[in-house]
Amino acid sequence: MLARVQSYLLQGIDALSCEVEVDHTDASDVRRTVVGLPDAAVKESLERVSAGLANSGYEEVRGRLLVNLAPADVRKEGPLYDLPIAIAILMGRGVVRSEPDRRRYDRGAPPPPDEPGPGLDAREYLVAGELALDGRVRPVRGVIAMAALAKSLGRRGVIVPAENAPEAAVVPGVEAIGVRTLAELVGLLNGGLEPRPYPTVDAASLLCTARAEIDFADVRGQENVKRAITVAAAGAHNLLMLGPAGTGKSMMAKALPGVLPPMTPEEAVEVTRVYSAAGKLEPGSGLVAVRPVRSPHHTASGAAIIGGGIVPRPGEVSLAHRGVLFLDELPEFPRFVLETLRQPLEDHVVTVARSHSAVRFPADFMLVAAMNPTPKGDVAPGEFGRREMDRYLARLSGPLLDRIDLHVEAPAVPFAELSAPRGSPNGGGARGAAGTPRGTSSAAIRARVLQARAVQIARQGPVTPNARLSGRQLDELAPLGDDARALLGQAMSELGLSARAYDKIRRVARTLADLEEAETITVTHVAEAVSYRLLDRKA
């Protein structure tokens, strides 16, 4: 008996329609086959389904069973087809209605108390879920993309594991029916249970500003680095901090999320789709509500950073989409891994090509990196120390450094600042309760960042911060006066800067002007932007 259930397959972070066809016939021999380019997890689904049906009180699968996953020329992976296969088998046996019985209900009469309701029409829903051996339904990846697909196909909704229902409910106009067991789904389809769709999630109400565990006021000294972080956060610029060990570089990177603007609902949905496709979304959570911050170890492989696999999955650069990728001890990463960052830093997307397909993942992130001047963590005096630092910096290629907007030095903090008694955190330059000068706080930096971002949104729209301005847009939105142009020309000549660095300086200068709410870029803004090309000056 032939039965069909609609499901989906995941390509990158997008869902494509997949029809699950099941042909079950009685025969003396037992033969179970899955076709349609299944991976090992899909092939094993028949064993899980057979046990799940038997342990849920339904007849054991006997005879010949053929499962076809269409389209047959696209590879399928994962256990998400367990639930639609089980329902299709029960439909073929007549245990589950292939369509609801509405003969008496279409006339408006309520069903008698002792009879079931019409039940859900499986043709109006996409179905997915992993089946445990006892009939429980476990969560799967990519459900938010599945819900978006259901909406684009004009389906009424999706039937998913209960832990995935909040995720599916983020997509408006789609019913998210969560089920915990196979028997519960059979009851919903046959009308024995009343469906209760998960309430639609209001993305705007869930979004909030990230609150980092560390406040910038807790960082002793380093006001020049805090200034550079303010500029980086205000314009979404990439940042590299260079200084000896123990100067607070990692501490400031951990404090950065607390000064970034909150995500828009559209950005939150984008990030949630990436995390759902990667299987990183916590079960029961509907939306990634704060900007992600990823900190991979320097032993991470290229596939872990960029993404990959037989069926490609997002890497760290995509998991940091709309957030921050923090690379501590930058020169300790393998050279070939760092070079793979050049394309996503420029294009803000990653393309992972395989023999059977090519998948694009979003990768619009801020790169924040930290490094010591030498492998020892400090610089020895004299010419020997200089050569040692140059050898260590040579691990970083010029094209990679070109793509980092701000290079800033984090010098050793003097003993007087380290040993001074702490006061209460205040704004920049204020004194604490004990009369001790305190550094700039996260609240003060956040206020400046939000003000600068508001200027950019009014001028160029919400999706294009200054770091993403093209050369043509810079010519229009960041014109230089004669004095500023002359200074920039002198810097280009004396430092040997590239054309890419030229645009980086103009973008940073535009952000510096926005922080002061100035329309015109002055020579002061260009001078400060040039001062952030620290490693160009050392080259």
Asked if the structure places residue 365 within a domain, the reply is yes
Do 247 and 384 sit in the same domain of this protein? Answer: yes
Do 163 and 31 sit in the same domain of this protein? Answer: yes
Last-in-domain residue among 418, 438, 453: 418
The three-state secondary structure class of 160 is strand
Separation CA 494–CA 364 (nearest Å): 32
Do 53 and 165 sit in the same domain of this protein? Answer: yes
- Number of Cβ atoms within 10 Å of the Cβ of 475: 12
Q: Which token pair is 522?
A: 């002055």
Asked if the structure places residue 134 within a domain, the reply is yes
Give the CATH number, domain containing residue 73.
3.30.230.10
Do 253 and 327 sit in the same domain of this protein? Answer: yes
CB contact set of 114 (below 8 Å; sequence gap of 6+): none
pTM: 0.87
In this prediction, residue 111 has a pLDDT band, given cuts at 50, 70 and 90, of low
Asked whether residue 340 carries a pLDDT value surpassing 80, the answer given is yes
CB contact set of 103 (below 8 Å; sequence gap of 6+): none
More confident residue, 211 or 79: 79
Asked if the structure places residue 246 within a domain, the reply is yes
More confident residue, 354 or 434: 354
Last-in-domain residue among 372, 394, 418: 418
Asked if the structure places residue 457 within a domain, the reply is no
Do 250 and 322 sit in the same domain of this protein? Answer: yes
Q: Output phi, psi for 191, to 5 deg.
A: 90, 5
Asked whether residue 434 carries a pLDDT value surpassing 60, the answer given is no
Q: What is the pLDDT of residues 137-172, one digit of tens each?
A: 999 999 999 999 999 999 999 999 999 999 999 999
More confident residue, 112 or 406: 406
Quick one: pLDDT at residue 509?
Answer: 96
Asked whether 318 and 274 are in contact (CB, 8 A), the reply is yes
Asked whether 207 and 288 are in contact (CB, 8 A), the reply is no
Q: Which token pair is 141?
A: 């990846």
Q: What is the pLDDT of residues 387-401, one digit of tens each?
A: 888 899 889 998 899
Q: At what angle do helices 223-235 and 499-515 cross, to 10 degrees?
A: 100
Give the CATH number, domain containing residue 270.
3.40.50.300
Asked whether 222 and 178 are in contact (CB, 8 A), the reply is no
Asked if the structure places residue 531 within a domain, the reply is no
Asked whether 522 and 481 are in contact (CB, 8 A), the reply is yes
Do 277 and 392 sit in the same domain of this protein? Answer: yes
Domains identified in the chain, total number: 2
Quick one: pLDDT at residue 178?
Answer: 96
Asked whether 196 and 182 are in contact (CB, 8 A), the reply is no
Query: Could you tell me how many residues make up the chain?
Result: 539
In degrees to the nearest 10, what's the CA dihedral of 493, 499, 505, 506?
110
Last-in-domain residue among 377, 403, 418: 418
Asked whether residue 113 carries a pLDDT value surpassing 60, the answer given is no
CB contact set of 90 (below 8 Å; sequence gap of 6+): 53, 58, 96, 186
Do 152 and 269 sit in the same domain of this protein? Answer: no
Do 14 and 96 sit in the same domain of this protein? Answer: yes
Asked whether residue 282 carries a pLDDT value surpassing 70, the answer given is yes
Separation CA 368–CA 121 (nearest Å): 50
Asked whether 195 and 120 are in contact (CB, 8 A), the reply is yes
Do 306 and 371 sit in the same domain of this protein? Answer: yes
Do 182 and 242 sit in the same domain of this protein? Answer: no
Separation CA 472–CA 404 (nearest Å): 20
Separation CA 48–CA 42 (nearest Å): 10
CA 346 to chain CA centroid, Å, is 18
CB contact set of 499 (below 8 Å; sequence gap of 6+): none
Q: Residue range 55-76: average pLDDT?
A: 90
Do 295 and 160 sit in the same domain of this protein? Answer: no
C-alpha to C-alpha distances, 537 to 20, 225, 308, 395, 496, nearest whole angstrom = 61, 18, 37, 17, 9
Quick one: pLDDT at residue 117?
Answer: 67
Asked if the structure places residue 199 within a domain, the reply is no
Please name which of 411, 390, 364, 373 lies closest in space to residue 228, comparing C-alpha atoms: 411
Asked whether 2 and 21 are in contact (CB, 8 A), the reply is yes
**Average pLDDT over all residues of the chain:** 87
79 lies in which domain range?
2-104+113-190
Asked if the structure places residue 342 within a domain, the reply is yes
Burial (0-12, 13-18, 19+ Cβ within 10 Å), 505: buried
- Looking at 82-91, 95-104, 142-151, 291-300, which range is the least confident one? 95-104
Quick one: pLDDT at residue 537?
Answer: 54
Do 156 and 242 sit in the same domain of this protein? Answer: no
Asked whether residue 222 carries a pLDDT value surpassing 50, the answer given is yes
Q: Which token pair is 99?
A: 């369509």
Separation CA 250–CA 370 (nearest Å): 7
Asked if the structure places residue 515 within a domain, the reply is no
